[in-house]
């Protein structure tokens, strides 16, 4: 087991503990990031940290480390764990202060960084595609809890995942209150129709996924395809030529069946596969990752 960073110190994983009074536990009062390290380089670390600080700003949580200090802490934690390929979970909670919800007197956030081996889907899932369903659980409206905040409240997503599993599907796609497609439980959604790529705008209630942004960029710049942010309904999903999901852990995963409707020809699509190929090369490029180890 590895070493976990808590507030500037490293602890063996089994001894890495925080208080039961921590507001992350009591109220889900905190923010987090899931980051990936490819061959000794942290992928899009600046973008992940920008999102972390933006989430914290939105919930009025002042992170006690500067951006640069946080960057160093992440890199240092990977280094002490001596892994070249890893998944990094960075968590900032509002800390602990009694049992009341009032955050005014709390100014001791806990910063936790866990570095672990990355668990990926079996290769078969990428070759055959996965089955998804749309779920009854709606994504929270932006005026309730904006899904752009990557907060420690993941119950929506967990409820959606439970629904998907009960339906025998690997993923659940959530709609907003107007019935527009938002995102899956831990991934963003894309469709391809007549050679054009579509994804919902994030302000309808979705996380601005880092992978989503990279895929949009790669599709535009490398594959010279048109990418549009448009409102999508279930009709658009069912009638798409291709559907795929994007996220740090899954990268790009094809979806071949949604609510029992076969998507396209029932196999991962051509553009999805092209994107997967370009993405695979891109994430390992030196220029897109922050080096962890010296002389790299």
- Can you give the binding site for ligand PXG, defined by CB under 6 A? 34, 157, 183, 186-188, 207, 209-212, 246-249
> Using CA atoms in the order 283, 225, 254, 263, what is the torsion angle rounded to 10 degrees?
180
Q: Walk across the sheet containing 86-93 and list its strands.
A: 9-12, 3-6, 110-116, 86-93, 30-38, 41-43, 289-291
- Residue nearer to ligand PXG on the CB measure, 96 or 248: 248
Residue 55 CB, nearest distance to ligand PXG (Å)? 11
User: Which residue of the set 44, 79, 128, 150 is catalytic?
Assistant: 150
> Is 79 one of the catalytic residues?
no
Task: Give the start-end residues of each E strand in 47-195.
Answer: 86-93, 110-116, 130-134, 171-175, 181-184, 188-193
State how beta strands 251-258 and 130-134 pair: parallel
- Residue nearer to ligand PXG on the CB measure, 209 or 264: 209
Residue 277 CB, nearest distance to ligand PXG (Å)? 18
Q: From CA 284, how far away is CA 155, in angstroms rounded? A: 33
For 35, the enclosing helix (H) or strand (E) is strand 30-38
- Residue nearer to ligand PXG on the CB measure, 97 or 139: 139
Q: From CA 232, how far away is CA 180, in angstroms rounded? A: 6
- Residue nearer to ligand PXG on the CB measure, 200 or 247: 247
Residue 203 CB, nearest distance to ligand PXG (Å)? 14
> Using CA atoms in the order 209, 210, 211, 215, what is the torsion angle rounded to 10 degrees?
100
Residue 150 CB, nearest distance to ligand PXG (Å)? 7
CA-based nearest residue to 178, from 258, 246, 239, 234: 234
Residue 137 CB, nearest distance to ligand PXG (Å)? 12
- Residue nearer to ligand PXG on the CB measure, 203 or 265: 203
* DSSP β-bridge partners for residue 110: 93
Query: Can you tell me whether residue 107 is helix, strand or coil?
Result: coil
> Which residues are identified as catalytic?
150
């Amino acid at each position: 087991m590895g070493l976990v960073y808590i507030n500037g110190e490293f602890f063996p994983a089994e001894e890495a503990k925080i208080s039961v009074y921590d507001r992350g536990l009591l109220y889900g009062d905190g923010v987090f990031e899931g980051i990936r390290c490819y061959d000794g380089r942290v992928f899009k670390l600046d973008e992940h940290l920008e999102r972390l600080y933006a989430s914290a700003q939105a919930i009025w949580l002042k992170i006690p480390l500067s951006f640069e200090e946080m960057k160093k802490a992440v890199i240092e934690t990977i280094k002490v764990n001596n892994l070249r390929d890893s998944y990094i979970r960075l968590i900032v909670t509002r800390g602990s202060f009694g049992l009341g919800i009032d955050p005014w007197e709390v100014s001791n956030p806990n910063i936790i960084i866990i570095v672990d081996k990355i668990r990926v889907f079996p290769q078969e899932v990428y070759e055959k595609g996965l089955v998804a369903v749309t779920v009854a659980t709606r994504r929270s409206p932006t005026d309730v809890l904006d899904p752009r905040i990557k907060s420690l409240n993941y119950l929506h997503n967990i409820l959606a995942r439970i629904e998907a599993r009960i339906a025998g599907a690997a993923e659940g796609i959530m709609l907003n209150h107007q019935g527009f497609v938002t995102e899956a439980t831990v991934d963003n959604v894309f469709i391809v129709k007549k050679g054009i790529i579509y994804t919902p705008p994030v302000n309808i209630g979705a996380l601005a996924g880092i992978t989503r942004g990279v895929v949009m960029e790669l599709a535009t710049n490398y594959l010279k395809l048109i990418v549009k942010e448009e409102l999508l309904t279930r009709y658009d999903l069912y009638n798409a030529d291709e559907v795929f999901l994007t996220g740090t852990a899954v990268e790009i995963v094809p979806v071949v069946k949604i609510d029992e409707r076969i998507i396209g020809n029932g196999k991962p699509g051509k553009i999805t596969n092209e994107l997967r190929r370009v993405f695979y090369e891109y994430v390992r490029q030196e220029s897109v990752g922050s080096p962890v180890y010296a002389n790299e």
